[in-house]
A and B are shown apart, each in its own frame.
Chain A
Amino acid sequence: MDAANTPAASQPSTSSTHPSTGTTEIPPQRDAAASPGATDSRVWRAGRLEPMPIRELPDPPPSIHLLGPTVFLVALGVGMGEAYMWPRLVLVFGPEIRWLFLIGVTLQAFVMLEMARYAMATGESIFFGAARVFKPLMWFFFAVAILVYIWPGHLSTGAAAFEQVTGIPWVVTACVGLILVGILFSLASVIYPLLESLLGILIGVLVIGTAVAASLVGRWSDLTATLAGMFQFGYFPEQAMSAAWFPVLVGAIAFAGPSGMQQMWYTLHLRDSGAGMGAHIPKIRGLRSAGNEEAMPSRGFMFDTDNQQEMRKWKGWRRWVTFDAVLLFWGVTMLVTVSFTVLAQTAARQSPDVTALILEGDREASLTAMADAFASAGAPILRGVFLGFIALIGLNATLGLFDSFSRGQADMSYHFIPGMKRFGMSKLYAGFLWGVITFGILILLFGPADGPGAILDVLAFLSTLAMGAYCVVLLLVNNRMLPKPIRPGFVPNLVIGFGAVFYLGMLLYSLFRFGVVVG
């Protein structure tokens, strides 16, 4: 039997349940004890956790607006995979290999839409949804987040590029950057609008700059080859099936767009932006304004899926998030990789050294060599532009990653660690934020930034494993914890199921066939 449709045993006999939705009526005499503000006394039961009260779904935005929480996914997702890993694979295997990138990013766009389905319908994070299915699943993600994301290694490439442009040592930039991020998020009265504005401007500049840079140095032939390569389905050179390259390829596919737990964190940003039922959940505040925080409800809310008016609003919200997924997420991610691939092809044509360095796999050396190639080929300005973008990508990722990590851990701690509610969500957020910053600075100064060498493979394994696991969680949560009228259809289920098999299958194949986890 569907857990979502099972009324609790303790439900009074006077209540009635709508079989199609599992919405349970609470008898009027009980509701009379409630305040006049209680507008609806029905609840939606999902799993064994507290039922969700039925509330009104807010109206979708009156027009399609161009900025939304997707800005976080773009900021997190457009990273080194797009700027370095895929251009490198194109130089090694030719543009035809890009069909795998198309699959990877399209899969991630579907994941994004399905993550949004649960978050917008309930105002709960996907972590909460996982706990409704089976609590240890959520604790798995809690542990993976700490193991994978506390290492500050992601700062190094961006800070190194900044060092190339300004001469300031990268460790100094990274440490100062960490402290500034902490101060910024602690002083803001409400975190979400600040971060959205900041990342909005940074990504706007990145997108404009990347497009202009690619238009200055690229060629029609590079672009058509890159675009045509995206449709060479099935192309898989023999060399790619080697212990040296297969894990790299798996890593590049998994890291096309947002990787690891970034999609799960997106549900928290959706909620904080007030999308769908997230409107009924208060926003997270900075430490300075934590005293003004509204009490966080102990669970999310559901809307009445039997009401046609509410379902019309739901369709409006789905259109809104689909626009975000297609144009902003898929479009911008594609644009940045295509542009960087064109840049890499241009650099390789101008300087054979670049090809050699890229093939060797030294990321920082390759990026610097690409920048130098532009400088020596009569476009010196592009050296600065190129390195500036790498630094900008690093900054975006750092801002987004630290905020997202702290949000996710605070959300799980608040709801599921006994005694944590007394601190309030904002203080827990600040605790995780400053915890990860302090640890990051200590590691940058005294330890291995990427994490201890011996566990690097384990971290890469866990990161990809989390992606396969969240596909499974998505299938369970959306098909069992949501009312039938808003559950995913056949196609989204098929694609997410394919995602689970794809991520887990490739990961395990790489491990057992070659004895190597993703590269």
Chain B
Amino acid sequence: MKNHGELALPGAVIGASAGVVAGGLALLVGQPAGWAAATAVGLGLPMALAGGAFGLLLGAGIVRPGVFAPVGLYWLVAFPVARLLHEVLAGLLIAGRPALPADPLGFLAYQAMASLGFAIGFSWLHERIAPGWLGRIRERNPRAERLYGFYLRHAEAQWKAREGRRRARAAGRGAGPATVLRNKGES
């Protein structure tokens, strides 16, 4: 269970950030703490759950890291559902009764369109945050180790390429052909 939780953490944090940032800004502009908390929880909770579940799919090898299409498809479903839950939860927390949008189908269709933007931002941030976190937990978490291996292979390939280029540059600086050309007055 702990292993799963660790795998889910980066996605959950990014998902929750949607609610937390919203709640924090509400406080900043002077809204009552209760109102801000309701929005933060109402939006942040479902988004965190969906973000965390995405991390589990990655860990299970069902979704390949570093590719956009699966992220886009995932949030096409998860984002509208999370927003619907947000509407219901926010109504429950603020007014004491759950509230559904006036036109649920139109609402879901609109949210599905908006999900594309969220998906780009999510994958953008996830690719930045997840490798560092997986590196910290991989020794005690086999699934994290496997997923980290993917990022590691990617980084190694890039490192090798970079070292190769550095060596080539160093060798080229010694007395490369360009130097010969200049000495011959062929600049």
Q: In the bound complex, do residue A63 and residue B67 qualify as a contact, i.e. CB atoms below 8 Å apart?
A: yes
Using A39-B168, A64-B66, A282-B169 as known contacts, say yes or no to A208 and B14 having CB atoms under 8 A apart. Answer: yes
Using A31-B177, A204-B128, A219-B110 as known contacts, say yes or no to A381 and B120 having CB atoms under 8 A apart. Answer: no
9 inter-chain pairs at a CB distance below 8 angstroms, sorted by A residue, are: A64-B66, A64-B67, A207-B120, A214-B114, A215-B79, A219-B106, A280-B165, A328-B120, A380-B26
Within 8 Å of chain B (Cβ to Cβ): is A339?
Answer: yes
Using A10-B184, A34-B180, A35-B176 as known contacts, say yes or no to A215 and B29 having CB atoms under 8 A apart. Answer: no
Interfacial chain A residues near B109, Cβ < 8 Å? 220
Q: In the bound complex, do residue A205 and residue B21 qualify as a contact, i.e. CB atoms below 8 Å apart?
A: yes
- What CA separation (Å) do A424 and B106 show in the bound complex? 60
Tell which of B106, B117, B170, B186 touches A211, judged by Cβ atoms closer than 8 Å: B117
Q: In the bound complex, do residue A31 and residue B180 qualify as a contact, i.e. CB atoms below 8 Å apart?
A: yes
Interfacial chain A residues near B36, Cβ < 8 Å? 381
Interface residues of A in 32-46 (CB under 8 A from B): 33-43
Chain B interface residues (CB < 8 Å from chain A): 14, 17-18, 21-23, 25-26, 28-29, 31, 35-36, 39, 43, 66-68, 79, 83, 103, 106-107, 109-111, 113-118, 120-125, 127-128, 153-154, 157-158, 161-162, 164-165, 167-182, 184-187
- Chain A, residues 336-373, CB within 8 Å of chain B (1/0): the string is 00010000000000000000000000000000000000
Nearest chain B CB to A162 CB, angstrom units: 12
- What CA separation (Å) do A197 and B131 show in the bound complex? 14
Number of A-B contacts (CB under 8 A): 207
Within 8 Å of chain B (Cβ to Cβ): is A188?
Answer: no
Within 8 Å of chain B (Cβ to Cβ): is A165?
Answer: yes
Q: In the bound complex, do residue A327 and residue B68 qualify as a contact, i.e. CB atoms below 8 Å apart?
A: yes
Tell me the dominant secondary structure on chain B's binding face.
helix
Q: In the bound complex, do residue A30 and residue B127 qualify as a contact, i.e. CB atoms below 8 Å apart?
A: no
Q: In the bound complex, do residue A43 and residue B177 qualify as a contact, i.e. CB atoms below 8 Å apart?
A: yes
Using A38-B171, A165-B28, A211-B121 as known contacts, say yes or no to A58 and B165 having CB atoms under 8 A apart. Answer: yes
Q: In the bound complex, do residue A35 and residue B174 qualify as a contact, i.e. CB atoms below 8 Å apart?
A: yes
Nearest chain A CB to B139 CB, angstrom units: 25
Whose C-beta in chain A lies nearest to the C-beta of B125?
A204
Tell which of A34, A61, A204, A375 touches B158, judged by Cβ atoms closer than 8 Å: A61
- Chain A, residues 203-241, CB within 8 Å of chain B (1/0): the string is 111111111101100111001000100000000000000
Interfacial chain A residues near B178, Cβ < 8 Å? 43, 50-51, 53, 297-299
Q: In the bound complex, do residue A66 and residue B123 qualify as a contact, i.e. CB atoms below 8 Å apart?
A: yes
Interfacial chain B residues near A39, Cβ < 8 Å? 168, 171
Within 8 Å of chain B (Cβ to Cβ): is A383?
Answer: yes
Q: In the bound complex, do residue A62 and residue B172 qualify as a contact, i.e. CB atoms below 8 Å apart?
A: no
Apart from A8-B186, A327-B120, 6 more pairs, CB < 8 Å: A26-B181, A35-B174, A50-B187, A212-B22, A280-B172, A380-B29
- What CA separation (Å) do A510 and B67 show in the bound complex? 44
Nearest chain A CB to B156 CB, angstrom units: 9
- What CA separation (Å) do A211 and B119 show in the bound complex? 9
Q: In the bound complex, do residue B177 and residue A38 qualify as a contact, i.e. CB atoms below 8 Å apart?
A: yes
- What CA separation (Å) do A297 and B169 show in the bound complex? 9
Q: In the bound complex, do residue A208 and residue B114 qualify as a contact, i.e. CB atoms below 8 Å apart?
A: no
Interface band, chain A: 35 or more
Q: In the bound complex, do residue A331 and residue B29 qualify as a contact, i.e. CB atoms below 8 Å apart?
A: no
- What CA separation (Å) do A173 and B103 show in the bound complex? 44
Interface residues of A in 1-48 (CB under 8 A from B): 8, 10-11, 26, 30-31, 33-43
- What CA separation (Å) do A30 and B79 show in the bound complex? 65
Tell which of B68, B117, B153, B181 touches A66, judged by Cβ atoms closer than 8 Å: B68
Nearest chain B CB to A372 CB, angstrom units: 11
- What CA separation (Å) do A439 and B45 show in the bound complex? 48
- What CA separation (Å) do A467 and B51 show in the bound complex? 41
Interface residues of A in 289-347 (CB under 8 A from B): 294-295, 297-299, 327-328, 331-332, 335, 339
- Chain A, residues 413-453, CB within 8 Å of chain B (1/0): the string is 00000000000000000000000000000000000000000
Q: In the bound complex, do residue A220 and residue B124 qualify as a contact, i.e. CB atoms below 8 Å apart?
A: no
Q: In the bound complex, do residue A204 and residue B124 qualify as a contact, i.e. CB atoms below 8 Å apart?
A: yes
Q: In the bound complex, do residue A66 and residue B171 qualify as a contact, i.e. CB atoms below 8 Å apart?
A: no
- What CA separation (Å) do A40 and B180 show in the bound complex? 13
Q: In the bound complex, do residue B124 and residue A53 qualify as a contact, i.e. CB atoms below 8 Å apart?
A: no
Q: In the bound complex, do residue A53 and residue B176 qualify as a contact, i.e. CB atoms below 8 Å apart?
A: yes
Using A63-B66, A65-B127 as known contacts, say yes or no to A208 and B22 having CB atoms under 8 A apart. Answer: no
Interfacial chain B residues near A40, Cβ < 8 Å? 177
Q: In the bound complex, do residue B117 and residue A335 qualify as a contact, i.e. CB atoms below 8 Å apart?
A: yes
Q: In the bound complex, do residue A209 and residue B128 qualify as a contact, i.e. CB atoms below 8 Å apart?
A: no
Interface centre among A35, A39, A206, A227 (most CB of B within 10 A): A35
- What CA separation (Å) do A332 and B161 show in the bound complex? 30
- Chain A, residues 445-472, CB within 8 Å of chain B (1/0): the string is 0000000000000000000000000000
- What CA separation (Å) do A227 and B22 show in the bound complex? 26
Within 8 Å of chain B (Cβ to Cβ): is A388?
Answer: yes
- What CA separation (Å) do A135 and B167 show in the bound complex? 33
Q: In the bound complex, do residue B68 and residue A67 qualify as a contact, i.e. CB atoms below 8 Å apart?
A: no
Interfacial chain B residues near A381, Cβ < 8 Å? 22-23, 25-26, 29, 31, 36, 39
- What CA separation (Å) do A223 and B125 show in the bound complex? 26
